[in-house]
Amino acid sequence: MTYLRYAPDIETPAPDEQKSIDGIIQGMTQQSQVVEKRERHAVRASHAKSSACVTGELVVPEGLPPELAQGLFAKPGMHKVAVRFAQGPGETLGDRVSTHRGMSIKVFGVPGEKLPGHDVETQDFVLATGTTFPSGTAAGFLRDGTVIGKATGLPEGVKSAVAATARNLNRVLHAFGTESAMADFLGHPYSHPLADSYFSQAPMRFGDYVAKLGAVPASKAQLDLAEWRLDSHDDEDGFRHAAAAFFRDNEVVYELKAQLWADAERQPIEDASVDWPVAVSPYRTVATLRLPRQDAYSPERVHYFDEVMTFRPAHSLAEHRPLGSVMRARLQVYRALSDFRHRENGVTAENTASPESIPA
């Protein structure tokens, strides 16, 4: 198969894109202010409620083909990692409001040219459930974010009802062999967080090439969780309790996979709402993520992950530069909202450089 090469001119920003990005920052900051007033604490503007905060290692194998042996994955070896699993909303809600989920990975010991402003030897991958970002572009992000922002002040019961409606919609669509990415974003199944797959959703540079990334469960114990479902009426923090209990008894393993860019028409760079067909380019394993048995929710570690540590697409090698409209927005939005959160809480943000900084 022939894969398309990265070049700076593959990105084509809309003329008014910065206006959209400024609007996203303004809107999400206002949303965060509403949540801060209610919770009396500033939390992440998305993926606020963590379910597991863990450490482990990323193993890059020998013998990757040239098109996969790129950037971080160019040389075989092992890197220490920190991984945060979290629920989607930018507020602390009960788990009956089951929306999309996030998995943020910080890889340590990564030399090479970094993006401007990133000054430590790390690489962050910020992933979420769903292979696409439903809003598609910065303009769509602003449009949909405005609607979500207006809903921030609504009672939790209303948000639960919206999530339930979205889940039921996808249940009907599945019967016809299809699904809605937006419905999954608003109403993800009550599945186990460690049985889900997570994706970059939008593309990034992959050395000489371009790719989307995915993290897919790879241990038998995780695969056995496929039919697990939370009873949200029994435990409003059930995802957290389930993840912590699983980590006490099991190693968690993911295969990190890259889907290379091969067709400019069917795999657009600028519209993250378009699913790249696996028939055009399949996801192929580039590394194994191993997270050993551990206390996944110790108070000291959770405080560090949730309050101090930052995960951003901008914490990146130049060879893994985020690409496309949504990613360009994220480069600015994550920084602005992190600055707001840390400033409001009186906490100094840390671009963690070493796994030794992480509490046990």
Burial track 154-164 (b if 16+ CB lie within 10 A, e otherwise) = eeeeebbebbb
**Tally of structural domains, the chain:** 1
Host domain of residue 73: 16-350
* Inside any domain, residue 224: yes
Going by C-alpha positions, the residue among 84, 91, 88, 89 that lies closest to residue 41 is: 91
* Inside any domain, residue 49: yes
* Inside any domain, residue 1: no
Going by C-alpha positions, the residue among 204, 44, 208 that lies closest to residue 125 is: 204
Supply 90's token pair. 């930018």
Per-residue model confidence as pLDDT tens for the chain (360 residues)? 899 999 999 999 999 999 999 999 999 999 999 999 999 999 999 999 999 999 999 999 999 999 999 999 999 999 999 999 999 999 999 999 999 999 999 999 999 999 999 999 999 999 999 999 999 999 999 999 888 888 899 999 999 999 999 999 998 888 888 889 999 999 999 999 999 999 999 999 999 999 999 999 999 999 999 999 999 888 999 999 999 999 999 999 999 999 999 999 999 999 999 999 999 999 999 999 999 999 999 999 999 999 999 999 999 999 999 999 999 999 999 999 999 999 999 999 889 999 999 998
102 φ, ψ (degrees, to nearest 5): -125, 155
CATH of the domain at 75: 2.40.180.10
* Inside any domain, residue 358: no
**Is the separation of the CB atoms in 142 and 191 below 8 Å?**
no
Is the full-model pTM beyond 0.75?
A: yes
Strands (E), the chain: 50-60, 77-87, 101-108, 122-128, 198-199, 204-206, 209-217, 252-260, 283-291
SS3 at position 25:
helix
Neighbours of 119 (CB within 10 A): 10
Supply 19's token pair. 């206006």
Going by C-alpha positions, the residue among 293, 352, 290, 247 that lies closest to residue 58 is: 290
Burial class (CB in 10 A: 0-12, 13-18, 19+), 348: exposed
Please tell me the distance from the alpha carbon of residue 61 to that of residue 12, in angstroms, as a whole number.
35
* Inside any domain, residue 89: yes
* Inside any domain, residue 2: no
The stretches of the chain forming alpha helices (DSSP H) are 17-39, 138-151, 156-175, 181-186, 220-223, 238-249, 299-303, 325-345
- Per 3-state DSSP, what percentage of the chain is helix, strand, and coil (rounded to 5)? 35, 20, 45
* Inside any domain, residue 32: yes
Supply 300's token pair. 């000291």
Left if phi > 0, otherwise alpha if psi is -120 to 50, otherwise beta: which for 71?
A: left
Beta bridge partners of 254: 217, 289
SS3 at position 340:
helix
* Inside any domain, residue 28: yes
Beta bridge partners of 204: 211, 322
